[in-house]
Amino acid sequence: MKCKLCGKDMRCIIKHGRDYFVGGEGEFSIYFCDDCKIGYTYPATFEAYVSKKGVLNALQISKYMSDMRIITENMQRTPRKVYEYGAGRGQFLATCGKKWKDLLVLKGSEQSENGVKNAMVEYGIKLECKRADDIVFDQKYDLIVLRHVLEHLNNFNTVIRNIYENGLEDGGLLFLKVPKLNSYETKKFGRFCHNLDMPRHRVHFTDTGMRKFLTANGFKNIRIYNEIVPSDYDRSMQYKKLGKEYLSNRSKILRYLWIELKLLMHKRDAGRMTIVAER
């Protein structure tokens, strides 16, 4: 297998991976480029637009607010023009609109018709129904967001190049969230690691690989934040035990507290990362 960025031969680091999250037939492998520090899954698509309720919705909003704090800290101001790739059902954009009252432009795209429909019905937000690599910008933005989108894209390099050349203003901010391949969870669980999410995740980034990739595309002032998510670790345990005891909700809160304490000891190797980069 050849790396999509540098064209060099890659080595297989994960064999016999399965779709443990949704299920189904087939096995998948991850090939890793030692130069670019990025991995690739070989090979499908995934759509999930389920509205969260109650506590789960509150936790989701809390995550959005945390993301928005990181954005404003790095921009030193409130963004005025925002575009989100893979906006799902539009909830993040809707939260931005409520929090940042001075927004002039709030736009996004989603390849699923269901997602576009739900964004309009639930939040009154009109999304473009387009794939990420089909986006043509009619103006430039000071903030472009891809929350757990980039890892799903075969043409991720083309998408980032389009953002840099046509989508972001000078000094504008790119905000990314992706799983982290060089994580404690990947090392511990291997092919059972939830964040590998084969076959939906087509690209697997390390922090070093992400920094090299963005720098090569012209971005500067790149900052990477680690994110601990106990439910990711919990699902990895489920997959490794083939869904037996851990599917029960008994003692779930205590289990999550134990997991979070455990992961705090490995925070530098957290399972997810948030990246901000300036054009």
Q: Measured on CA atoms in the order 145, 136, 129, 108, is the torsion positive or negative?
A: positive
Q: Are 138 and 167 in contact (CB under 8 A)?
A: no
Q: What top-level class would CATH report for the domain 50-148?
A: alpha beta
pLDDT, tens only, 115-174:
899 999 999 999 999 999 999 999 999 999 999 999 999 999 999 999 999 999 999 999
Q: Look at the alpha carbons of 82, 135, 4, 148 in this order and tell me if their dihedral is positive or negative.
A: positive
Considering only residues 134 and 255, tell me which one the structure prediction assigns the higher pLDDT: 134
**How confident is the model over 88-122, as pLDDT tens digits?**
999 999 999 999 998 999 999 998 888 899 999 99
Q: Is the pLDDT of residue 250 over 60?
A: no
Reply yes or no on whether the pLDDT at 246 is more than 80. no
Residues 6+ apart with CB under 8 A from 122: 51, 89, 90, 91, 94
pLDDT at 261: 83
Higher pLDDT, 108 or 241: 108
43 and 202 Cβ atoms separated by less than 8 Å: yes
Q: How many CB atoms lie within 10 A of CB 249?
A: 8
pTM reported for the whole predicted model: 0.86
Helix locations, 105-155, DSSP H = 113-123
The domain segmentation of the chain, as residue ranges, is 11-43+180-279, 50-148
Q: What is the pLDDT of residue 46?
A: 40
Angle (deg, nearest 10), helices 91-99 and 113-123:
30
Alpha carbon 199 to its chain's center:
15
CB of 154 closer than 8 Å to CB of 122 = no
